[in-house]
């Protein structure tokens, strides 16, 4: 997450706000079995929900077997629902998006 430099907020508060908004987005009542997750929809929701706290957000896999972009679409099987397991430890506050963050 790139924090809005014109807004005074701590990194921990940004992390808590991001996780809270992600949990709201992934509320079980918002999803159907087999529905595909698109990061663009989550990103748009987070920008709307967290304005003016953040200026940008990206998703980067933590697994070394995956690359940037692998999580932009996740297809659920007909008997699966996509949920979030995100915690504040999974949210990194950065000053800008650079190539180093995409690895």
User: What is the 3-state secondary structure of 18-49?
Assistant: HHHHHHHHCCHHHCCCCCCEEHHHHHHHHHHH
Residue 103 confidence (pLDDT) above 70: no
Name the average pLDDT for the chain.
Answer: 93
Residue 57 has pLDDT above 80, yes or no: yes
The residue-averaged pLDDT of 34-60 equals: 95
Q: Whole-model pTM? A: 0.89
Tokens encoding 35? 């529905």
* Mean pLDDT within 38-42: 96
Q: Which of 82, 88, 91 is nearest to 27 (CA)?
A: 82
Q: Which residue has the higher pLDDT, 25 or 66?
A: 25
| Segment 59-83, tens digit of pLDDT | 988 888 888 888 899 999 999 999 9
The three-state secondary structure class of 3 is strand
């Amino acid at each position: 997450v790139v924090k809005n430099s014109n807004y005074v907020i701590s990194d921990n508060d940004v992390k808590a706000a991001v996780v809270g908004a992600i949990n709201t987005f992934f509320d079980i009542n918002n999803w159907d079995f087999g529905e595909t997750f698109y990061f663009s929809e989550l990103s748009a929701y987070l920008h709307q929900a967290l304005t003016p706290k953040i200026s940008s957000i990206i998703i980067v896999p933590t697994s070394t077997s995956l690359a940037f972009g692998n999580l932009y679409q996740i297809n659920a099987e007909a008997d699966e629902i996509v949920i979030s397991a995100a915690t504040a430890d999974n949210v990194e506050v950065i000053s800008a998006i650079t190539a180093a963050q995409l690895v």
